[in-house]
Amino acid sequence: MKKIFLFDALREAIDEEMEKNKSVFVLGEDVGHYGGSYKVTKDLHIKYGDIRVLDTPIAENSFMGMAIGAAMTGLRPIVEGMNMSFLLLAFNQISNNAGMLPYTSGGNYQIPLVIRGPGGVGKQLGAEHSQRLEAYFQAIPGLKIVACSTPRNAKGLLKSAIRDNNPVILFEHVLLYNLQGDIPSDDYVTPLDKAELVRSGSQITIVTYSRMRYHVMQAVDILEKDGYDPEVIDLISLKPIDIKSIANSVKKTHNLVIVEECMKTGGIAAEIIAQINDNYFDLLDSPITRLSSQDIPTPYNGSLEKATVIQSQQIIETVKNIVS
């Protein structure tokens, strides 16, 4: 094992996969000589050249279309969005091309494409740079969506995504890049369709993902001292949702809380609630509770920004109310 920053774990994943497979390349704004906005591609252009680490113009729809075309011809592009919010400018290419071409071509084309970059609510980045796009892409057929939360699963998920023959969106939280953690020294991958059991418990299941994992664990530290025993699941896979892992947990705890940074209306929690109610309603002893961001553009003001996102104290109060 070795301790590493999350951004370095992502960089290692790209470097190792580019070294193994010459069809893997990176493109996006400032990914080359600048090394990426959060240094995930730092110095890779020195090792692999300016064609395999390709700086593009500020034209998301154009370079996303180019990446999809490259994937159709057998290359394995990794597109970095300087901020995932900007990829709304490439929504047509992602939905109508990347997601649908394997189907509309009758299986004649595979799209081994990775789309990755920073997102989520940072610290006073303003509304347009604080988007959570997971719900936007959730409804698009043909996509796989994952969200990393530790250096270990960040590297493993990115390596799995690069090797997958389907388009994969990897969400990285802007405030987790400097997070340190242990990762194996050997080559490894993390499944793109499995949730992670973070903590076993008996009273209530808390499902979360991305940065909210740490808000949840801060709350759990206090709940443990007060005699509560929550089970915590990091969703990781947002599409497909590993509903069986959640259901297996609810069979034991009979209570479910979902904590997300996504908007409440039409968010990931909404989909989980629908699936649990459709298929596992009889397991529940209480209504499912979702703790989600407010349905407003994220304010620039620091205090207002904090008020829009779920905090640990809200999780503590919710768990105590349900269990009691």
Task: Count CB neighbours of 106 within 10 A.
Answer: 7
Instruction: Find the catalytic residue in 17, 29, 80, 129.
Output: 129
Residues present in the chain in total:
324
Measured CA to CA, the distance from residue 85 to residue 92 in angstroms comes to 14
Q: Are 264 and 87 in contact (CB under 8 A)?
A: no
Measured CA to CA, the distance from residue 277 to residue 287 in angstroms comes to 9
Q: Is 215 a catalytic residue?
A: no
- Contact partners, residue 211, CB within 8 Å, separation at least 6: 120, 149, 173, 175, 176, 261
Instruction: Find the catalytic residue in 12, 17, 29, 60.
Output: 60
Burial of 153 (0-12, 13-18, 19+ CB in 10 A): buried
- Contact partners, residue 69, CB within 8 Å, separation at least 6: none
Q: Write out the E strands in the chain.
A: 2-5, 24-28, 53-55, 76-80, 114-119, 144-147, 168-173, 180-183, 196-199, 204-208, 230-234, 237-239, 256-263, 289-293
Q: Is 129 a catalytic residue?
A: yes
Task: Count CB neighbours of 52 within 10 A.
Answer: 18
Amino acid identity at 30:
D
Burial of 94 (0-12, 13-18, 19+ CB in 10 A): buried
Task: Count CB neighbours of 247 within 10 A.
Answer: 16
Cite the active site residues: 60, 129
